[in-house]
Amino acid sequence: MPSTPRPARTSYHHGALREALLDGARELLAEGGADSFSLSALARRLGVSTAAPYRHFADKDALVDELCGEGYREFGRALTQAASSTTDARERLDALGVAYLRFAREHPAVFGIMFTDRGPAVLASGVPTFEVLVDAVVAAQDAGALPPGADPRVLARTVWATLHGLAVLGRRGGFTKLAIDDDEARLVADALALLTR
Amino acid sequence: MPSTPRPARTSYHHGALREALLDGARELLAEGGADSFSLSALARRLGVSTAAPYRHFADKDALVDELCGEGYREFGRALTQAASSTTDARERLDALGVAYLRFAREHPAVFGIMFTDRGPAVLASGVPTFEVLVDAVVAAQDAGALPPGADPRVLARTVWATLHGLAVLGRRGGFTKLAIDDDEARLVADALALLTR
DNA sequence: ACCTGAACACCGTTCAAGT
DNA sequence: ACCTGAACACCGTTCAAGT
């Protein structure tokens, strides 16, 4: 569901091919996963030639990188919103954790692409997202829920790693096989209970 | 470097194509990563026709699944060996963590494949690996390093998620951009210091 | 039983040519 | 400036045919 309605293809020129490519790519990604996504299938769906995308993106990786950037921005918004949902510093960590796992569940293909080996440009996009966690850790330290003497970036790294591990391992039923497949809220609560005090 | 020397191709039949395919696949994977690995390139390298692999594997996924299974077995051996390296239950957790991150660093392509969406058969192969962690958690509980009342499987899940997150995020310099890129021992020590007491 | 040769549908990418 | 048509090298996979 594109945010802006695509104008119907009236003539030789598409008119808004760049946006249509990104919209269509998101749809294909959501439908068939990262593997089944091809530039050819995308062009076919949009009714343009297979060479047309190359007027708007240098190659397939450039389009995927753009999708990753969008993903990071939306991920950051979801985390920021979760962080502002409560004034309690300890509860805020839980809210961030649940938002982290929910994003991974609701956008599995984009999440998978965001965290598989992509260029350094994509990695840099992830830093602002991380800062939300650092801020929450500092607040939790002030509230006495995390060791006050420790480097907040080191603490945030550990919290981030834990949440990310839960998201990745839980994504495709990694915990189901172990008969310890709880819902997201409990997954996060159990993990953060061990990390905080 | 295959464990058994490949006999030279003397005639029409290869003789040990199945093993040669697995050895060559490991090599290609280590050289160019998971993306650049193709069955055609593998057949070319071994000097057989592009159809030859299909006498030994149903399709490309079957070969990759086999590689994942081998990866899990070697991963399990590395963790088991690390666990037996010390009698101190608390130190054992650190040893497991370092072994976890080292495996991810030394076998990046196989590690990546093991934990990306593969079939349920591959997922089941990961369970024995997890049991090593559960045993170490129980010992740590007895030693007072982890809450004695908690379900060891839930604790192990959290420890697993944390180590996995560190491995995944740290793999391609995920922490470098945050200026908190420490060595593996410190990464693990900082994280487990927060999890244990 | 194991492998080849040739073919099919599908990729990503390029480039001259069209509008 | 933006898109097409046709081409290239490369995939995964199949199948009749060879040894």
Interface of A with B (CB under 8 A): 33, 112, 115-117, 120, 123-124, 126-127, 130, 146-147, 151, 153-155, 157-158, 160-166, 168-169, 172-175, 177-180, 187, 190-191, 194-195
Q: What string of H, E and C letters represents the secondary structure of A161-197?
A: HHHHHHHHHHHCCCCHHHCCCCCHHHHHHHHHHHHCC
Burial class (CB in 10 A: 0-12, 13-18, 19+), A72: buried
For residue A115, the tally of other CB atoms under 10 A from its CB is 22
Tell me which chain B residue has its CA closest to the CA of residue A186.
B154
Q: How many Cα atoms are found within 13 Å in the side-chain-facing hemisphere of A152?
A: 16
Give all domains of chain B, ordered by start, each with its CATH number: 11-57 (1.10.10), 59-193 (1.10.357.10)
Q: Note the pLDDT tens digit of each residue in B53-109.
A: 999 999 999 999 999 999 999 999 999 999 999 999 999 999 999 999 999 999 999
- Determine whether the interchain pair A164/B168 forms a contact, defined as Cβ–Cβ distance below 8 Å: yes
Q: Note the pLDDT tens digit of each residue in A43-94.
A: 999 999 999 999 999 999 999 999 999 999 999 999 999 999 999 999 999 9
Q: Which residues on chain B are in Cβ contact (under 8 Å) with A166? A: 161, 165
Q: Is the CB of A51 under 7 A from strand C?
A: yes
C-beta separation of A112 from A122 below 8 A = no
Tell me which chain B residue has its CA closest to the CA of residue A122.
B174
Mutation for B interface: A60, A110, A194, A197, most B CBs within 10 A: A194
Q: Is the CB of A172 under 7 A from strand D?
A: no
Least confident of A76-80, A112-116, A131-135, A145-149: A112-116
Structure tokens at B16: 């040990």
